[in-house]
Every structure is written in C-alpha cells, then in structure tokens.
C-alpha cells in the first residue's frame, strides 16, 4: 500500500500494488485513481482485481496494469478530473456511449475524456496498460503548445491506434518508462528528468491523438513567433522568481510597450503581466505538489512573488480549478490509498 510518508521523503514516484477480491473494493480503488464510476460484475465471486504500477508525484500521472479476472462493465457519467487511456495486453474491451463506439484490443486503445458518459465492457481475460493523466496536467500541456490559455475542455477522439503511426510510438514510450521505473538507480529516478518526461508524454498524446484542439495546435505550430518575443518569454521564465516589473520586461524585449502588448496578445493570447503571473502560479503549483511537506503554502507563495496570500489563493484556484490546500490534499489522497 502507498503512504503519505513517501511525499515527506521527497520521492518522485510511489509504487502501486494491490489485489482485491470484491467488486466494491475494486470500484473504490479505481475511483481513487481515475474518478467516479459504477462497476457491474455478473459473477461477483469470480472477481480477481489486480493493479500494479507507479504514481508519478509531479503530476499524479499513474502508469500501470490492471485486470479484473472476470467480465465487468464500467459505467461512467463523468470522470471529472482525469483522462483514462488504456490498451489491452491480452483480451479485449468495448466502449460505447450516446455518440461513440470503439473496440479495443492489443492494436487499438481507448481514451475516456472528462465529461464523457460511456460504458466500458472488459473481458475476463483482459489485462491492460492503464495511463491516468490529470485534467489539469493535460490542460497545462495544451496551453503550452498553444501558447495561450484555453477555455473549452480538451476532448479526444475515443479510438487510439496503437499499431502504426505516432500513437504506436507513444505506447512504446509508455512501455519503456514502465521498465525503467522498476530500476532503483536509473535515470528515471531523477526528479528533473522524470518531470520533463511526463510533460513530453502529455504533449505527445495531445499532438498525436485527434482532438477538438488539433487544428488550433497545427495553426499555432505554423505561426512564426518573432525572435524578440521568444527571448522575452525566456526572460520571464528565467526571472519569474525575481521581483521584475513590466518595465524590466519591456527593457528585455527592446521594443515599445505598445508593440510588446500587441504581440503578446497576438501570439500568446494574454498580456505580458498576465503571462508572468501564469508562470509564477505554475511554479508555485509545482512546488506545492512536489514539496508540500517541507514548505508551507505562504512560504511558497512568497518565493514566487505573491505577497498577498488571499489573492494568491484566488488566482491559483481560478487557474487550476482547486485551491492550494486542495492540491495538497489531492496528491496526498492519490498516494495514500
């Protein structure tokens, strides 16, 4: 079983390993991983649920394998805060809903997005790789690709080809990460490396799997950002910890304030001061999620340039749909089941 103490020790991953022999126990366990759902089991005495893998504490991404040992149906109204991505290693599963239908085997995976109502039928001999990515982490990855805030939920095409193309490479990367996470002395035990790998995985699936932002991502990729603006953004990222002002940003850009604001709105989708605050909030969030046991919220806020804790909490919740204290509680829940 996992423990909150793992966070205190600063570990970058927590091992998942459980075997459950009752339907409600299996449902409760998976609800803590992916979100609310119902579990229907024809023969409750035959259930042999097993889940092994890892939770990466940087973004609470979970990578592992699950099996139920008997035919089951998972009914979902809304996963709310996570994306469930799965690919059978053996057996099969079938997804159906009001406007979707997908068959899934070793060559075809499925993605269940938040707000998607569906039923997932899983065969008794199905053992599958399951990747759970939080909604917040996915939306942050999308915003980084678009270089602007997003307002509409990210919804993926349900069927995911795992045999050819970019998606097959994504699944190969997942398998490679699984193997490396079993090592105790490998590169994947570096917090900086695994954090970058997580972000690459998230961006990879957003780019490779068709979704309602695919065209916007393509347009953003084709739009050439002025060189001075790229340098200015790097300046903001580098000095986000420092007490910098719009005058400092303007001086680093070497352009007029009017041009700076116009180009930020055109290419980034927000003014430079808003972008600075966004970068600082993301930095504070990262510290809260990975170092919550060693620093209190007010210390982290001050470190990132937020002198008014109440305003920081309001801005934080507006950007991440949860308060700083809720972030801490969520990651503790994710690593204490």
Do residues 99 and 242 both lie within one domain?
A: no
Do residues 164 and 292 both lie within one domain?
A: no
Query: Between β-strands 93-97 and 61-67, what pairing exists: parallel, antiparallel or unpaired?
Result: unpaired
Do residues 206 and 312 both lie within one domain?
A: no
Residue 8: predicted pLDDT: 29
Do residues 197 and 234 both lie within one domain?
A: no
Domain boundary among 218, 252, 281: 218
Do residues 42 and 171 both lie within one domain?
A: yes
Residue 317: predicted pLDDT: 84
Domain encompassing residue 202: 5-218
Do residues 179 and 235 both lie within one domain?
A: no
Interatomic CA distance for residues 251 and 234, integer angstroms: 14
Q: 313: domain CATH number?
A: 1.10.10.60
The burial class, CB within 10 Å (0-12 / 13-18 / 19+), for 271 is: middle
Residue 184: predicted pLDDT: 64
Domain boundary among 192, 218, 244: 218
How many structural domains is the chain composed of?
Answer: 2
**Could you write out the three-class secondary structure of the chain?**
CCCCHHHHCCCCEEEEEEEECCHHHHHHHHHHHHCCCEEEECCHHHCCEEEEEEEECCCCEEEEEEECCCCEEEEECCCCCEEEEEEEEECCEEEEECCEEEEEECCEEEEECCCCCEEEEECCCCEEEEEEEEHHHHHHHHHHHHCCCCCCCCCECCEEECCCHHHHHHHHHHHHHHHHHCCCCCHHHCHHHHHHHHHHHHHHHHHHCCECCHHHHHHHHHCCCCHHHHHHHHHHHHCCCCCCCHHHHHHHHCCCHHHHHHHHHHHHCCCHHHHHHHHHHHHHHHHHHHHCCCCCHHHHHHHCCCCCHHHHHHHHHHHHCCCHHHHHHHHHHHCCC
Do residues 68 and 185 both lie within one domain?
A: yes
Residue 3: predicted pLDDT: 33
Do residues 97 and 239 both lie within one domain?
A: no
Do residues 162 and 260 both lie within one domain?
A: no
Do residues 14 and 113 both lie within one domain?
A: yes
Residue 331: predicted pLDDT: 62
Do residues 237 and 182 both lie within one domain?
A: no
Structure tokens at 138: 């996915």
Q: What is the CA radius of gyration of the chain?
A: 21
Tens of each residue's pLDDT in the chain, 337 residues: 333 233 323 455 678 899 999 999 999 999 988 888 999 998 889 999 999 999 887 778 899 999 999 999 999 988 888 999 999 999 999 999 888 889 999 989 999 999 888 999 999 999 999 999 999 899 999 998 988 888 899 999 999 988 777 888 899 889 988 888 877 666 767 777 888 888 889 999 999 999 999 999 888 776 678 899 989 999 999 999 999 999 999 999 999 999 999 998 888 878 899 889 989 998 898 888 776 445 688 899 999 999 888 999 999 888 777 788 887 776 665 444 4
């Amino acid at each position: 079983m996992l423990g909150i103490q793992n966070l205190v020790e600063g570990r970058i991953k927590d091992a998942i390993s459980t075997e459950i022999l009752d339907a409600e126990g299996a449902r409760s366990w998976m609800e803590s991983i992916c979100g609310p759902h119902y579990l229907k089991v024809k023969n409750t005495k035959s259930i042999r649920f097993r889940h092994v893998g890892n939770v990466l504490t940087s973004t609470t991404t979970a990578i592992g394998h699950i099996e139920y040992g008997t035919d089951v149906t998972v009914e979902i109204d809304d996963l709310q805060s996570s994306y469930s991505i799965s690919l059978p290693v053996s057996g099969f599963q079938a997804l159906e809903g009001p406007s979707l239908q997908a068959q899934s085997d070793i060559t075809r995976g499925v993605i269940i997005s938040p707000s998607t109502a569906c039923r997932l039928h899983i065969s008794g001999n199905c053992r599958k790789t399951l990747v759970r990515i939080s909604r917040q982490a996915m939306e942050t990855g999308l915003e980084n690709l678009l270089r602007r805030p997003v307002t509409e939920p990210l919804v993926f095409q349900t069927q995911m080809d795992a045999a050819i193309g970019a998606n097959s490479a994504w699944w190969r990367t997942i398998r490679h990460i699984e193997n490396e996470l079993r090592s105790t002395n490998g590169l994947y035990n570096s917090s900086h490396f695994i954090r970058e790998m997580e972000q690459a995985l998230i961006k990879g699936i957003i780019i490779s799997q068709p979704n309602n932002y695919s065209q916007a991502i393509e347009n953003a990729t084709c739009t050439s950002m002025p060189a001075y603006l790229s340098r200015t953004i790097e300046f903001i990222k580098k000095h986000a910890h420092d007490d910098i002002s719009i005058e400092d940003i303007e001086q680093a850009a070497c352009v007029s304030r009017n041009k700076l604001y116009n180009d930020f709105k055109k290419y980034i989708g927000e003014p430079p001061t808003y972008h600075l605050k966004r970068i600082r909030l993301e930095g504070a969030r990262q510290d809260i999620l990975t170092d919550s046991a060693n620093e209190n919220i007010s210390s982290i806020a001050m470190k990132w340039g937020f002198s008014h804790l109440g305003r920081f909490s309001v801005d934080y919740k507006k950007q991440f749909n949860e308060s700083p204290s809720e972030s801490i509680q969520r990651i503790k829940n994710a690593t204490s089941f």
